[in-house]
Structure 1
Amino acid sequence: MEIKIKRVYEVPSKEDGKRILVDRLWPRGISKESGKIDLWLKEISPSNELRKWYSHDPQHWAEFKKRYWAELKSNLEGLEKLKVSLDEKVITFLYSSKSLEYNNAIALKEFLSK
């Protein structure tokens, strides 16, 4: 299985495979149809508290990942929903952050690779 990462505002393509939104909040201006979103797994996104603390500050990236991964490890129900959804050859995690390098989709993919 291949996991890709893409900003939800980018044009969907057939190469994306199953498109999974991994944000806690629904992205502004995107409908399920226009975003071609197959599944919204807000249960595995960072908590509101962590999201607000991080505020997409690159200086907090390492600590954000540490805290987010701790949340994921204690979120058995959310991880089970994710596991069930990883049934395609290609999965694309969608996120809405403007940061292409420091976002929860990247942290999630890294968590799954460990």
Structure 2
Amino acid sequence: MTKLKRAYDDPAGDDGWRVLVDRLWPRGVSRERAAIDDWAKEVAPSPELRTDWHHDPDRFDEFARRYRAELDDNPAVDALRAGLADHPVVTLVYGARDEQHNHAVVLRDYLEERW
């Protein structure tokens, strides 16, 4: 099972393996409070893609398509998949405010489709 959670939300006992999937550490969140087990920053969108999109919900479909193309060519995805296979519950942790239009949603769907 793969769950999503904002880095600003409190960790829970049922989060399982908590993986931060942002390229940058979330502002104002201490490492202790975040309770992150792994930081997979290599699977985050490229800086260019993130800048082009700039969290515009109207451009989310285009962002998702381009991000999936990046994931297809990213060897770090295989390392993340291996970690997912070792844990029955995984929470992908992200810093974006929008809980429906963010890269973690795309990444979760991508992993579930190919896992």
TM-score range, shorter chain: over 0.9
Question: CA offsets per residue over residues 88-108 of structure 1, 9 Å max, x none?
Answer: 110000000010110111010
2:78 & 2:29 partners in 1: Cα distance?
Answer: 26
Q: Give the structure-2-normalised TM-score.
A: 0.94
1:32-51, aligned counterparts within 5 Å?
Answer: 32-51=31-50
Where do 5+ consecutive residues of structure 1 fail to align? none
Match of 1:24 in 2: 23
Kindly indicate whether the alpha-carbon contact (under 8 Å) linking 2:81 and 2:111 is maintained by their aligned counterparts in 1.
Answer: no
Q: Give the structure-1-normalised TM-score.
A: 0.95
SS in 2 for 1:4: strand
Question: CA offsets per residue over residues 40-86 of structure 1, 9 Å max, x none?
Answer: 0000000000011111101111010100000000012x112202211
Letter in 1 for 2:23: R
Where do 5+ consecutive residues of structure 2 fail to align? none
1:1-114, aligned counterparts within 5 Å?
Answer: 2-76=1-75, 78-86=76-84, 87-114=86-113
1:80 & 1:74 partners in 2: Cα distance?
Answer: 10
User: Which aligned segments of 4 or more residues in structure 1 are displaced greater than 6 angstroms?
Assistant: none
- Point out the structure with the larger helix share: 2
- The CA RMSD measured in Å over matched residues stands at 0.8
SS in 1 for 2:34: coil
SS in 2 for 1:5: strand
Using the TM superposition, give the Cα deviation of residue 113 of structure 1 relative to its aligned residue in structure 2, in angstroms.
2.1
